[in-house]
Amino acid sequence: MSKNFQSPNIFWWILIPGAFITLFLLGYYPGIIPLDKLGASGRSLSQSVSQYRTGLIVGLWATILAHLFEAMLARNICQKHKFDQQSTLLWTIQTFIIAGNKPEEQNAPSVNLSDDEWKKKLTDEEYRILRKKDTEYPGTGKYDKHFEPGTYECAGCGQNLYDSSSKFDSHCGWPAFSSSLAGSVKRHKDEDGYRIEILCRACDGHLGHVFEGEGIRDSNGKIIEERHCVNSASLKFSKKN
């Protein structure tokens, strides 16, 4: 799947195109759908179609134009936030078919740098992990066994991501958090189709992966619902004053 593309339930791919096709047939070829054979209600509907056929055609083309406008708006949003070409194409096509389902401004990264700019801004390790989605070796990160009170920020853009109160020792070799700060992290299904990748919402920097239902318990015996497994190189720590 493309980096920035998310598709809705397939139900909408069937329902909305089906409605378009039905309106087109009723407007231009009303006789092709045997409404008269559906009993009294069918005959009544057939009469209504004949009576309001012009309105159906006008409504059809008005809807198509509205969907086209939404598609162009989706394309502009994608280009504004530098989505990859495949994602832009998929969003444009999907939004034309399913108007209203377009990338949301608040879900797009607010920090957009070119690849060369990221290389200059980040260390080699930070660039390799944040921008190229690599992973540091377990047990090597500086925040794996770090439990000082404070806030963990994105090493790429400074976005606040995790409070130290949510950090726990999962013995996995990477910093682990039970939750992120509200609105700071977004999720995508990984390319392997199984894991869920977590990214900084502000710059789309790769943080790690989130795992659910592992049955891990904290020091008080409470079950932890999910584990954010994060690379230390993706983080910067600010000590609590």
Torsion of CA 47, 50, 54, 57, to 10 degrees: 90
Q: How far are the Cα atoms of 148, 154, 200 from residue 239, in angstroms, in the given order?
A: 7, 14, 20
DSSP 217: B
Active-site residue, selected from the candidate residues 78, 157, 203, 229? 229
CB-based burial label for 211 (10 Å; 0-12, 13-18, 19+): middle
- 3 state SS for 24-51: HHHHHCHHHCCHHHHHHHHHHHHHHHHH
Angle of the 10-28 helix axis to the 85-97 helix axis, nearest 10 = 50
154 is catalytic: no
Q: Which residues are part of the catalytic machinery? A: 229
